[in-house]
Amino acid sequence: MQITIRYEAQTRRAVGLEEETIELVAPCRVSDCIQHVATLHPESLRPIVINAAGEIQPSLLIFLGDDQVVRDDTKELADGDTLTIMTPISGG
Amino acid sequence: MTDNSPSLTDEERAVYEWQMWVEDFGVAGQERLKGASVLISRVGGLGSVVAYELAAAGIGKLVLAHAGNVKPSDLNRQLLMTHAGLGKSRVESAERRLKELNPRLEVVAVNENVDKENAKQLVEQVDLVVDCAPMFEERLAMNHEAVGQNKPLVECAMYDLEATITTVLPGRTPCLVCLCPEPPKLWRREFPVFGAVSGTVGCIAAMEAIKVVAGFGSTLGGKLLAFDLRQMTFSKRQILRRPDCAVCGHLP
Ligand SMILES: [Zn+2]
């Protein structure tokens, strides 16, 4: 199935893309998808989204469509879904 | 927010005439603004514009917290600072510029950034907080105190040509810790941004503050507005309260 990954804030700068469409084998949960995407960009993206313990960073913001999902959400992704990942940002 | 708001003078009726024509705001909304106070954490790129718009709209009192002096790299976005003010106090410059626009405004200028020590007494002075600070430590301290004192908190942020904004209504919507349970390790105080981006976010934050204080429209409580001015895309996303949130999880 095809999933569109949207990169925002620091993840966009790291990957150099606003979005990309990737091919995944169902069943695939949010965390499986993000772990997979991290392997596609091991130098640039992985340090931002995966912590030293190999888990998704607790501060990473994840949206399935327009709804936030937590990193251990058990929902399975469906063909055509858009998953947005962004780092929290601040002011100045 | 409270309804023992002060009544308006003839001068105020003249100055705020156009916005009082907004039907669900009106004279009552203007009186609520006059009776209200807002804390702005840092008057930089975001906070300068929030403060200027609230001063223009007739807020009664602003508490401005920002340490340090004006630097050249402030001037692309910190619109209350001026070239002539380089090397001088940021909050003094902000107070002077705000009072040139609105001499009726009460300003409390605090030459400090928000931290765990001063957050309590700063939040106690106001009805609402707008957080425009760059460091997550100071934002988390502000969130902790605003939620603890049950004061609404407008959270605004930017990066490059992107920005996010949400409004925290304690106990009713996610707070900053629900969104960001620990400070992101790779965030830096200095980051790419244009003044036109911070200005856009600042105007939206000021509008949120005005709506919350005057009680009209619908706010970004429970929503994250995320936009990208490079592609001109705007999306309003649903965000989640964490039942185990260390700051607001115990609230009903
Ligand atoms: Zn919370």
Q: Is the pLDDT of residue B2 over 60?
A: no
Q: Is the pLDDT of residue A23 over 90?
A: yes
**Could you write out the DSSP letters of every residue in B58-97?**
T-SEEEEE--SBB-GGGTTT-TT--GGGBTSBHHHHHHHH
With bands split at pLDDT 50, 70 and 90, how would you rate the model's confidence at B71?
A: very high
- B152 Cα to chain A: minimum distance (Å): 18
pTM score above 0.90: yes
Q: Which of A57, A70, A89 comes nearest B157 by C-beta?
A: A89
Q: Is the pLDDT of residue B1 over 60?
A: no
Nearest to residue B113, comparing CAs of B155, B68, B82, B175? B68
Phi, psi of B120 (to 5 degrees): -60, -55
Sign of the dihedral defined by the CA atoms of residues A16, A89, A59, B223, in that order:
negative
Q: Is the pLDDT of residue B188 over 90?
A: no
- A75 Cα to chain B: minimum distance (Å): 15
Q: Is the pLDDT of residue B166 over 70?
A: yes
Average pLDDT over residues B107-135: 97
Average pLDDT over residues B84-107: 98
Phi, psi of B31 (to 5 degrees): -65, -35
With bands split at pLDDT 50, 70 and 90, how would you rate the model's confidence at B206?
A: very high
Domain ranges of chain A: 2-86
Q: What is the pLDDT of residue B161?
A: 96
- Chain A residues within 8 A of B238 when measuring between CB atoms: 66-68
CB contact under 8 A, B162 and A10: no
- Which helix (H) or strand (E) is B11 found in, with range? helix B10-15
| Tokens found for residue B105 | 């405004």
Q: What is the pLDDT of residue B229?
A: 98
Q: Is A11 on the interface with B (CB under 8 A)?
A: no
Q: What is the pLDDT of residue B194?
A: 96
**Residue ranges of domains in chain B, CATH in brackets:** 10-159+187-218 (3.40.50.720)
Q: What is the pLDDT of residue B89?
A: 97
d(C-alpha B104, C-alpha B59), whole Å: 9
d(C-alpha A41, C-alpha B92), whole Å: 47
What share of chain B in percent tops pLDDT 90? 94
Q: Is the pLDDT of residue B3 over 80?
A: no
State ipTM: 0.95
Dihedral angle over CA of A72, B148, B176, B247, nearest 10: -20
Topology classification of domain A2-86: Ubiquitin-like (UB roll) (3.10.20)
